[in-house]
Structure 1
Amino acid sequence: MLGSVIAWVLFALVLLGIVTRKSWGPRLEARSGLLRRWPWRWWLTGYPETALRVLTTWRRLAYLNGLSVSMRPDRRVIGRDLVVQGTALRPRPPRLVWPVPTKTGLRLRVLLHPGQTPAPYYQAAPAMEHAWRVYGVRVTSPRRGQVLIHVTAHDPLTGEVPSARGPLPVLLSADVGRIEDGEPWLIDLRRVPHWLITGATQSGKSSLLASLVLALAPQPVALVGIDCKGGMELGLFGGRLSALAIDRTQALGLLSGVVDEIQERMRVCRAACKRSIWELPPYDRPAPLIVIVDELAELYLTDGSRESRDEAEQCGTLLLRVAQLGAALGVHLVVAGQRVGSDIGPRVTALRAQLGGRVAHRAHDEASAEMTLGDINPDAVITAQNITEDEQGVAVVAMGGRWMRARSRLVTPADTAEIARTDPPANPFLIQPDSATFQKGETAS
């Protein structure tokens, strides 16, 4: 009885949604920005329609995709039922809890039959997308004996990503775009101190780096850049960078200065009997330092000469030391490049293992996505491979064993000019080398 009442209520809401869509549709579409912030139209029209489709197709969908089991009495087992896989008598689908609406779709909880595993549900996700006519279905299993089905009715990463507005963010937390559930995409360097960003040319790596610098520019942090493409990308940020290296020789001097700074911060913490700079009093705490590297492979490529090989090896060693020692001392590393495999140079694999945050944009081959996300989740690798050329800025973000789709916002020339006019924090370093490595507005020497 209760099921019939609920079905009739959903049917009435669907009819109301159809009428509403015809009468208010053009007016609502004109206010698409407001709809993205609070998509109440989805609650009125999309949710009832999708929930009704899920409930009415669940039994047949489970049967066709091997999710049902059959219950038949066995006279040899008194008072018990025998669970049999396959197409036996009375196929019984797993129990589906009532769909819970979200901002971009639905969340379903499925209670598994005894002996079932989540594996068939992962394989049935494409069938669910077609049966329910939704953008995407993602299956997780946070608890034993049940799975969660996350239904995305429409792609939230399409359209323009809204700019971050409001009060200044938490220190070392950067709002760089939007994730697939419609929430802000936050890169928190306090939580995940080092990041790796990969992707093919024109896939969105530079846009993400620009979004990161834009979000960090108002904060009291020091930014240093290594851009071996002659500074064409990071050089646009002008005086906001405390230092900029535009070739490998300059990068070697800059990284040497960063390692010296790490050792000096170690000395200060050791003298104060503290384990990190965050335990120091605010007036004695040095400013956080973020090292941004664009086109990592340029630091490792050699022309065959001994001098070139020595420079590449030294750069690899210094980058690895920064990643291993910098987290507790407020020194963070953000590395971007097309490939991060051992084929581009020594110590790259060890460096990659130290970069806990991973961002994979569109890749030309499976190996590139595998290098970035293979040790996180194989499903994330497949998702990264399915990013098309039309989805510029879309990437798969992984950290702490979790992964999701996200898209960085586009940084306009006006935003870039605003960054260039921002001054870095005064005296952010404990040591000042004799070279111009850390001099404002100059490149490393």
Structure 2
Amino acid sequence: MTLASTPSAGATWPSWVLLVATVLVSGLLIAGPALRRHYPMAWWLLLGFPVVVFRVTYTWRALMAGCGLAVSRRPALTVVSGLVGNGAPPPQPRVPRRGLIRPTAGGFWLLVRLLPGQVPEDFVKSAPAMAEDWQVHAVRVTSWKPGLVRIAASMADPLASPRVPKQRGPGYLLRVAVGTLETGAAWVMDLRRIPHWLIVGATRSGKSTLINALVAGLAPQPVALVGIDCKGGMELSLYEPRLSALATNRGQAVKLLAELVDLTLDRMTVCRTARVRNIWGLPEKERPVPVVVIVDEIAELFLIASRNEKDEAHAAGTALIRLAQLGAALGVFLVVAGQRVGSDLGPGVTALRAQLGGRVCHRVADPGTAEMALGDLNPDALKAAQAITPEQAGTAVLASGDGWERARSHLTTEADAEAIAAEYAHLTPVLPALLDSEK
């Protein structure tokens, strides 16, 4: 009698694994739309990212060859002679070696090692082809270190509808989340790290929205806000309950800036007496309140029509430059904004620009303003700023010595800004040295 053979455990476990995997994948596919709608991050890690990894891995060799980034392993004549003599297929070309594909909140990134003779610009030119082949929104290539480039891809445009949670409470001192970066991360303006900023943009480009977001984030913090708005205060008067001082014409601005320079010199004396290099080295109880000076429409300070106005413009420019040179260590920070900023406004503008390490360029009406904002930092950032269309209101290119990125500020309406200024009016520091400048 023949006994029926019993399947061993070793023969059945692959079937069980396959069955479980099939059930899990089927469940994810069925629940995919709801998962993507309610838990987008979970959907991306469980479904979207694995599909992208497969797509990139499967197309890598053909994509590199199609973009001209593959190199033949043997000289062309050797290959041809080998084909004719032996009828052998041509050797596979050598392609750049890539590292692990790593997920981000809204995409992925990987490192690629360059082949001999290649430069990062070769991959930058191929970025649109990569985006098309991998079916992603955009691909950006940056130099990582010699011999390596970083390829970052975004599955969707995070700037289309930036979602930045409203700041609750004071948060970190002089640090405000004002929008979203093109990577999907929060756009944070940290005045402790980059103390002075230049913000440019044409009418309805998003410049005022960015200033609203910045003031809304600074209002709950223990800082003094000072405004200079030479267009009669039409923009910054919204925040007047939270401002320690506000200048609404050039005469007032010159006096206010002179008082601010005196304030920094007084703080310098305090630091020298205490033998510290900046106010952050002072004991917390003795540390003076940080002052953030917001200058709206810088051109109004520099435009001149008479001899008296020329003297005022020169005095204002000199004071701003001194504040930019001395302020970071002494707790005085500048945020300078304008629709048009160019060298035609005078040499003082160019000298001031050199002291403003952070730059934000929205859509501008003339190329000179974009050149003034970004041209000395990064030519690629300048090209990206000039490509912003009128339909992309709020979108900007921000640059500093660390590099550049595209970003979009969080929508903070005038009503929101006015309400926030009123809510935190009780936190407005009184600076006696600045009171006389408003008269």
- What's the TM-score, normalizing by structure 1? 0.85
Is the Cα contact below 8 Å between 1:173 and 1:187 reproduced in 2?
yes
Q: Following the alignment from structure 1 to structure 2, what is the Cα–Cα distance between the partners of residues 427 and 217?
A: 11
Equivalences for 1:158-197 in 2 at 5 Å?
A: 158-166=160-168, 168-197=170-199
Aligned to 1:266: 268
Contact 2:215 2:417 (C-alpha < 8 Å) held by counterparts: no
Report what 1:436 is aligned to.
436
Instruction: Indicate the residue corresponding to 1:114 in structure 2.
Output: 116
Q: Which has the higher helix share?
A: 2
Compute the displacement of 1:367 (Å).
3.0
Choose from 47, 50, 56 the match for 2:49. 47
CA distance 1:371–1:124, shift in 2 (3 Å): same
* Contact 2:219 2:420 (8 Å CA) reproduced: no
Identical pairs, percent:
50
How many angstroms does 1:421 deviate by? 3.5
C-alpha separation between the residues in 2 aligned to 1:272 and 1:231? 39
The aligned runs of 1:210-221 (5 Å cut-off) are: 210-221=212-223
Match of 1:206 among 208, 222, 226: 208
Instruction: Assess, with a 3 A threshold, how the Cα gap between structure 1 residues 73 and 124 changes in structure 2: closer, same or farther.
Output: closer
Following the alignment from structure 1 to structure 2, what is the Cα–Cα distance between the partners of residues 123 and 242? Answer: 50
Is 1:399 aligned to residue 407 of structure 2? Answer: no
Displacement after TM superposition at 1:53 (Å): 2.2
SS at match of 1:177: strand
Segments of 5+ residues of structure 2 without an aligned counterpart are: 1-17, 79-89
Q: Judging changes above 3 Å, is the alpha-carbon distance between structure 1 residues 253 and 278 closer, same or farther for their aligned structure 2 residues?
A: same
Name which of structure 1's ranges 419-428 and 117-126 shifts more when overlaid on structure 2: 419-428
Deviation larger for 48-57 or 246-255: 48-57
CA distance in 2, matches of 1:261, 1:371: 30
SS of 2:237's equivalent in the other structure is helix
2:33 to 16, 25, 49: 25
Tell me by how many angstroms 1:188 deviates: 0.9
Q: Write the letter of the residue equivalent to 2:259.
A: G
Please state whether the residue corresponding to 1:229 is helix, strand or coil: coil
| Alpha-carbon contact 2:162-2:180 (below 8 Å) kept | no
Give the drift of 1:51: 2.2
Contact 2:223 2:429 in 1 (8 A): no
Distance 1:428-1:351 versus aligned 2 partners, 3 A rule: same
CA–CA distance in structure 2, aligned partners of residues 373 and 331 of structure 1: 23
Q: 1:343 is matched with which residue?
A: 344
Per the TM alignment, residue 355 of structure 1 is displaced from its structure 2 partner at its CA by: 0.3
Could you tell me how far apart the structure 1 residues matched to 2:433 and 2:366 are? 44
Structure 2: distance between partners of 1:325 and 1:49 = 53
Give SS of 1:44's match. Answer: helix
Query: How do 1:32-431 and structure 2 match up within 5 A?
Result: 35=40, 39-72=41-74, 90-166=92-168, 168-303=170-305, 305-412=306-413, 413-423=415-425, 425=427, 429=431
SS in 1 for 2:144: coil
Taking a change above 3 Å as real, the CA distance of residues 68 and 248 of structure 1, as seen in their structure-2 partners, is same
SS in 2 for 1:403: strand
Q: 1:374–1:381: 8 Å Cα contact kept in structure 2?
A: yes
Which residues of structure 1 form unaligned runs of 5+? 1-8, 77-87, 438-443
- Contact (CA 8 Å) 2:177, 2:188: kept in 1 or not? yes
Q: How far apart in 2 are the matches of 1:276 and 1:130?
A: 51
CA contact (8 A) 2:238 2:417 kept: no
For 1:22 and 1:367, how far apart are their aligned partners in 2?
Answer: 54
For 1:170, the aligned partner's letter is: Y
TM-score (norm 2): 0.86
Distance 2:393 2:231 in 1: 21
Q: Residue 178 of structure 2 aligns to a residue in which SS?
A: strand
Alpha-carbon shift at residue 428 of structure 1 (Å):
5.2
Deviation track 1:196-235 (CA, whole Å, cap 9, x = no partner) reads: 1111111111111111111111111111001112111110
CA distance in 1, matches of 2:272, 2:108: 52
Q: Rate the CA distance shift 1:75–1:132 in 2: closer, same or farther, 3 A.
A: closer
Deviation at 1:416, TM superposition (A): 2.2
Cα deviation, residue 43, structure 1: 2.1
Letter in structure 2 aligned against 1:25: P
Distance 2:197 2:171 in 1: 19
Please give the per-residue CA displacement for 1:37-73, whole angstroms capped at 9, x wherever unaligned: xx22222332223222222222222112221111128
In 1, Cα distance between the equivalents of 2:370 and 2:352? 17
Instruction: Output the CA distance in 2 between the equivalents of 1:196 and 1:390.
Output: 23
Q: Would the alpha carbon gap of residues 69 and 322 (structure 1) be closer, same or farther in structure 2, given more than 3 Å must change?
A: same
* AA aligned opposite 1:246: T
Residue 62 of structure 2 aligns to a residue whose secondary structure is helix
